[in-house]
Amino acid sequence: MSFTMHGVGVSSGIAIGHAHLVSHALLEVAHYEVPDDLIEAEVIRFSQAVDTVRAELGSIYHSLPGNAPAEMSAFVGTHLMILADRALSELPKDIIRTESCNAEWALKLQMDDLVAQFEEIEDDYLRERKHDVVQVVERVIKALLGHPGQMAVSRQEQSIILVAHDLSPADAIQFKQHQFAAFITDVGGSTSHTAILARSLNIPSIVALHHARDLIHDGELIIIDGGQGVVIVNPDKDALAEYRLRQEQWELEQQKLKRLKQTRAVTLDGTSVELLANIEVPEDVVQTRAVGATGVGLYRTEFLFMNRREWPTEEEQFESYRKVAEAMRGHSVTIRTLDIGADKQIEADSVRTCTNPALGLRAIRLCLTEPHVFHTQLRAILRASHYGRVKILIPMLSNQSELHQTMLLIERAKQSLRDEKIAFDELIPVGGMIEIPAAALAADTFARKMDFLSIGTNDLIQYTLAIDRTDDTVAHLYQPLHPAVLQLISMTIRAANKAGKPVAVCGEMAGDAGLTRLLLGFGLRQFSMHPAHILAIKRQVLQTNLPRISKLVRKILACSDSEQIVPLLAKLNA
């Protein structure tokens, strides 16, 4: 029987292949009594399984390719730490002895206890770490049950679609060495480890399908549309033919797009447009250069602060920033200062609890209350500015007092470097993110006082419409085309253009080819997005005639209802 499932698409593309169910060892755990004279042997069996997993994780850690994203080694490191904890490597031995039970069961009891403790934690980020505990336990149980820890390599793996309950980062690293067609999981949100890694795997993937592992059977034919978050199980002949065609078209299109790499992004009427990349780790520069981006428009530095217990040092930050500045060879690199809090929690800051994190102490607010953390980062960015064209971008500004304090702290960081005779770019540009409606309404003042602006549409939509961007249940109300959102964007672009200051959009809207013409019509000339979208956006730019679209853009801006906007936008894109 054919049926369709919907999840959250985290990586685009179409894949057609056979399902391979990744085993869920925890479901296979049996409980049996171990006779007294065999208890110590059972304890040894447990210790050996722990040793096997330690060796397995160690070998994954050491075989990471040099260009693997930094967070991958951090993930495996976290799993090694969890495994080394007494709670997992020692206490199950006591349970085997006191309960006279088998090792798998003892480990499962201990895991249930740990997970229950994690569930009591209020902090979302820390609570989610229970998944890491479960993933490590899964590995030990697989070792106990004699399942191979490594993925079996199949000859026709290009047509295999992995169906898993969850993927551990260690699994994802192994996947990197294979060429599976796609993967889908039951759990995981857009900020889960799985989603972060999915982007770097560059194959279609969908998370949060809830029951994929229960409903899909091993070997069944499935279609994955990563862009739409759709899975079709046992497609009928028509669906299969349609998706084969779409897949061919998608692949052909990717090939065609590759040819645009060297082409300058200029509209039909001769207006130049800058297409920049959003990056999260220095290794992303490889993809950024491969698609011919003319700079980094948003370097989200918070990933350097994740999956670790201590704050990164100035030296470590400097090395990362310098690496990017140098690798971009004279192209601009816009480094955003720390934007943690809300959906981007870090362990080093886990003591803080907010009643409403998205409206709480995040981004620049947090940096201004922790000036030493900010000072360290500013010094690292300033030092890196000596090695390339670096700019500083401040997230979540909402008022002039924050801007004033920020500028004072930047000056203090500069002075400390001058005192130590350390070189940096004295004229380093400082820009502000416009992602709070109040900031958009005051865009003219920010534009006058700052060197450039960058519109963070992801948050601007969230705050304008009061829709939590991480909450599935209100996702349908998260509307980039809401007239209020469009007004705020257009107003910010106008204010910056009037002040003669560059302005970019660096939220997801910049990478949506359906919105390129509209944003160009608003006067936008800089788009910053995930490198995977750059060539498709370039094609839109190349096919746009600005004088021809201006009337329709004005009409869209005058609409009071997004339902009226949809057909007009289709006409604009025709």
- Please list the active-site residues: 193, 506
Cβ 93 vs Cβ 107: under 8 Å: no
With tokens 């390339």, the residue in question is 388
List binders of ligand PEP among 299-358 (CB under 6 A): 300, 339
Cβ 163 vs Cβ 213: under 8 Å: yes
List binders of ligand PEP among 64-123 (CB under 6 A): none
92, 312, 429, 456: residue in contact with Mg ion (rule CB under 5 A)? 456
506, 515, 534, 553: residue in contact with ligand PEP (rule CB under 6 A)? 506
What whole-number distance in Å separates Cα of residue 405 and Cα of residue 408?
Answer: 5
Of 12-20, 193-201, 224-232, 457-465, the window that binds ligand PEP (rule: CB under 6 A) is 457-465
Rounded to a whole number of angstroms, the minimum distance from the CB of residue 23 to Mg ion is 38
Q: With residue 223 as reference, give the H or E element that holds it.
A: strand 221-225
Rounded to a whole number of angstroms, the minimum distance from the CB of residue 457 to ligand PEP is 5
* Interface mask toward ligand PEP for 246-285; x: CB under 6 A: ----------------------------------------
Kindly give the interhelix angle for 400-419 and 371-384, rounded to the nearest 10 degrees: 60
SS3 (DSSP) at 275: strand
Rounded to a whole number of angstroms, the minimum distance from the CB of residue 300 to ligand PEP is 5
The site for Mg ion, by CB under 5 A, has a size of 3
What whole-number distance in Å separates Cα of residue 58 and Cα of residue 63?
Answer: 9
Of 318-326, 366-374, 413-421, 450-458, the window that binds ligand PEP (rule: CB under 6 A) is 450-458
For 82-98, b where at least 16 C-beta lie within 10 A, e where not — what string?
bbeeeebbebbbebbbe
Residues pairing with 503 in the sheet: 453
* Paired tokens of 448: 């006058």
With tokens 């499935």, the residue in question is 222
Kindly give the interhelix angle for 70-84 and 130-145, rounded to the nearest 10 degrees: 70
Q: Chain-centre distance of CA 125, in angstroms?
A: 15
Nearer to ligand PEP among residue 501 and residue 530 (C-beta)? 530
List binders of Mg ion among 429-448 (CB under 5 A): 435
Rounded to a whole number of angstroms, the minimum distance from the CB of residue 446 to ligand PEP is 16
List binders of Mg ion among 397-436 (CB under 5 A): 435
Cβ 105 vs Cβ 32: under 8 Å: yes
Nearer to ligand PEP among residue 166 and residue 339 (C-beta)? 339
Q: Does 132 bind Mg ion (CB under 5 A)?
A: no
71, 280, 283, 459: residue in contact with Mg ion (rule CB under 5 A)? 459
The residues binding Mg ion (CB under 5 A) are 435, 456, 459
The residues binding ligand PEP (CB under 6 A) are 298, 300, 339, 435, 456-459, 506-507
